[in-house]
Amino acid sequence: MSPVSIKTENEINLIREGGRKLGEVLRAVAAAVKPGITTGELNALAEKLIRAAGGEPSFLGYKGYPASLCTSVNEEVVHAIPGERILRQGDIIGLDIGMRYQGFCTDTAVTVPVGVIDQETTKLLSVTKEALNRGIAQVRAGARLGDIGAAIQRIIEKNGFGVVRDLVGHGIGKEVHEEPQIPNYGKEGMGMVLQEGMVICLEPMVTRGNYEVTLEPDGWTVITKDGSKSAHFEHTIAVLSSGFEILTK
C-alpha cells in the first residue's frame, strides 16, 4: 500500500484550477444528454472539451481503458465504455470523467435523466446526490473515513436503496487513484484519520435493488446483479483544517 499523499498549497491551487475546468466540462457534457444521442458522441464531446481546457483525458489509456468518459446507462453502475449505444427516453446515464491538468488529476461524476424518468428513479438520483453531500459534510482534518461512510450509508439505506460495496472512493493527485480507499459505508469513529492537505474523491454508487454487482465480459462495465438501475455522483475534495473544499464544483 502506498503512503497517503499530502498536497502543498501550490499543488492544491493547481488541482483547484483543473477541477473548476473539469466541472465546466462535465456540465456541458451533461447538458448534451437527450434521447437519440449516442454514448460515443458524448465521449467525443468530453475529449474535445478537456483538450480545449488545456487538459488531457486521464481515463484514456488508464489501465487500458479505451475512452475519455465512462457512460453507464441504467443497470450499469460504472466504467461502461462509450460507443454506438443510443440513449432513449426514460434512461438514466452516469457520466464519470477525469482530467490531468498541470500534472494533477481531478475526477467527477453525475447521473442525469434522459428526457422524463419515473418517480422512483428520480428519487434514486436525488438520494444519491444527497448522499454525496452528506459524505462531503463530514470531511475535515481529524475526521475518520468511517464518519464519511456512515453518513453516506445512513441516508441511502433509510430510503430503501442499496450501497455498492465492491467499489469505493479514493485519494487523487499525480495519479488517477491514490490511497486511501474510501468505502461508501462504515461506522462512525472508525478508519483512517483525515489529514489537512489530503485530496480525495467521494463517489457513492447506489442501486434501486440489491447492492451486489458483477463485471461484464468487456472487463470494464460493472452492472447490478439484479438488473436494477444505479446512480453515481462524485466530487474531488480538499481536506482542510476547518472542513472541506469541493474542487470540481
- Domain carrying residue 125: 9-246
What mean pLDDT is predicted for residues 221-243?
97
* Number of domains into which the chain is organized: 1
* Three-class DSSP category at 153: helix
175 in a known ligand binding site:
no
118 in a known ligand binding site:
no
Tens digit of pLDDT for each residue in 160-202? 999 999 999 999 999 999 999 999 999 999 999 999 999 999 9
pLDDT band, residue 1 (cuts 50/70/90): low
177 in a known ligand binding site:
yes
Tens digit of pLDDT for each residue in 118-141? 999 999 999 999 999 999 999 999
pLDDT over 90 percentage in the chain = 98
- Compute the mean pLDDT over every residue in the chain, rounded to the nearest whole number: 97
Q: Which three cell numbers stand for residue 149?
A: 461512510
Residue 2 lies in a domain: no
Nearest to 99 by CA among 247, 238, 245, 240: 247
96 in a known ligand binding site:
yes
- C-alpha pair distances (Å), 160 with each of 44, 90, 155, 174: 36, 21, 9, 37
The predicted pLDDT at position 241 comes to 87
For residue 2, pLDDT beyond 80: no
Residue 38 lies in a domain: yes
Residue 3 lies in a domain: no
What mean pLDDT is predicted for residues 57-74?
98
For residue 47, pLDDT beyond 70: yes
The predicted pLDDT at position 65 comes to 98
Residue 121 lies in a domain: yes
CATH number of the CATH domain containing 105: 3.90.230.10
Residue 107 lies in a domain: yes
Residue 4 lies in a domain: no
The predicted pLDDT at position 62 comes to 97
Distance CA 111, CA 71 (A): 9
What mean pLDDT is predicted for residues 207-214?
97
147 in a known ligand binding site:
no
Long-range contacts of 111-117 (CB under 8 A, 24+ apart): 111/231, 111/232, 111/233, 112/30, 112/33, 114/33, 114/34, 114/35, 114/87, 114/88, 114/89, 114/90, 115/34, 115/35, 115/89, 115/90, 115/91, 116/89, 116/90, 117/90, 117/91, 117/92
Distance CA 175, CA 200 (A): 12
Residue 62 lies in a domain: yes
What mean pLDDT is predicted for residues 10-24?
98
Residue 230 lies in a domain: yes
The predicted pLDDT at position 203 comes to 98
226 in a known ligand binding site:
no
Nearest to 108 by CA among 237, 244, 240: 237
107 in a known ligand binding site:
yes
- C-alpha pair distances (Å), 76 with each of 120, 193, 213, 230: 17, 32, 9, 7
Nearest to 136 by CA among 123, 147, 126, 127: 147
